Amino acid sequence: MLFVIDVGNTDATLGIYEGENLRNSFRIPSKRDENAIFFEYKIRDYFLENDIKFADIQKIVLSSVVPTLTPIYKEIILRTFGFTPIVVNANIFPQLKVSIDNPDEIGSDLVANAVAAFTKYHRNCVVVDFGTALTFTTVSGEGKILGVAIAPGLRTAVKALFSNTAQLPDVPLELPKSVIGKNTIHSIQAGILWGYEGMVRSMIRKIRRELDGDCIAIATGGLSSIIPTLKGEFKEINVNLTMDGLRIIGEQSR
């Protein structure tokens, strides 16, 4: 079995694959103030509760965009499983080149997204990841990551609004029927969700224009289905796209 770990800014998403099938997945909060014992306990507890043996894990792939947690997870993996993980970087997948000014700047999760999309479609595509950040990763059919656009994620935008405005309440991320808000909650939902709907459509359209119209769009991330009116923009909505990319990297890495 293959164990993949995607350490993001809000949560780490962990998955266990048997072949191409995702058998199990779970999340651990990315708490910067916790030590290795906290994360190790979460992993051990999940394996125990789901009757998964450490010895059954043959390979581990680690992606992390949180530098302080990367060595902690590497330490846990070595101590628990007895070997070091494959750590994702810009050069981890030879079939896919990173065509940006400084390849080391690209997030390893975006590399995994690109690997999954390119491996499945082998054509121009943009992966829209609805996470802590909203990212647009453009990949060419010739096997190049052409570049990335980054905006605050939906929850990040909401938190930023609340942290700077004392009288605004927290609101559920639900798309309202009207863009004309009739109360405070409706107004926030209309501004953020319909505003992001327009931004995503516009970004996809502009990326397609730069690629002469030949580009499919793929959505991933925990909030990828939160704006249902965008469904028609995407060839595929796959919340597990990042983990699928990590699996592919693991399968093709020594």
Q: What is the DSSP letter of 135?
A: E
Structure tokens at 251: 């399968």
* HSE-CB of 236 using CA atoms within 13 angstroms: 15
Give the three-class secondary structure for 162.
Answer: helix
Q: What is the CA radius of gyration of the chain?
A: 19
Structure tokens given for 16:
């266990």
Cβ of 187: how many Cβ atoms within 10 Å?
Answer: 16
Characterise 147 by phi-psi region: left (phi > 0), alpha (psi -120 to 50), beta (else): left
CA 38 to chain CA mean position, Å: 23
- Catalytically annotated residue among 109, 212, 214, 244: 109
170 catalytically annotated: no
At 89, the amino acid letter reads: N
Q: What distance in Å separates the CA atoms of residue 198 and residue 10, rounded to the nearest whole number?
A: 25
Phi, psi of 121 (to 5 degrees): -110, -30
- The catalytic residues are 109
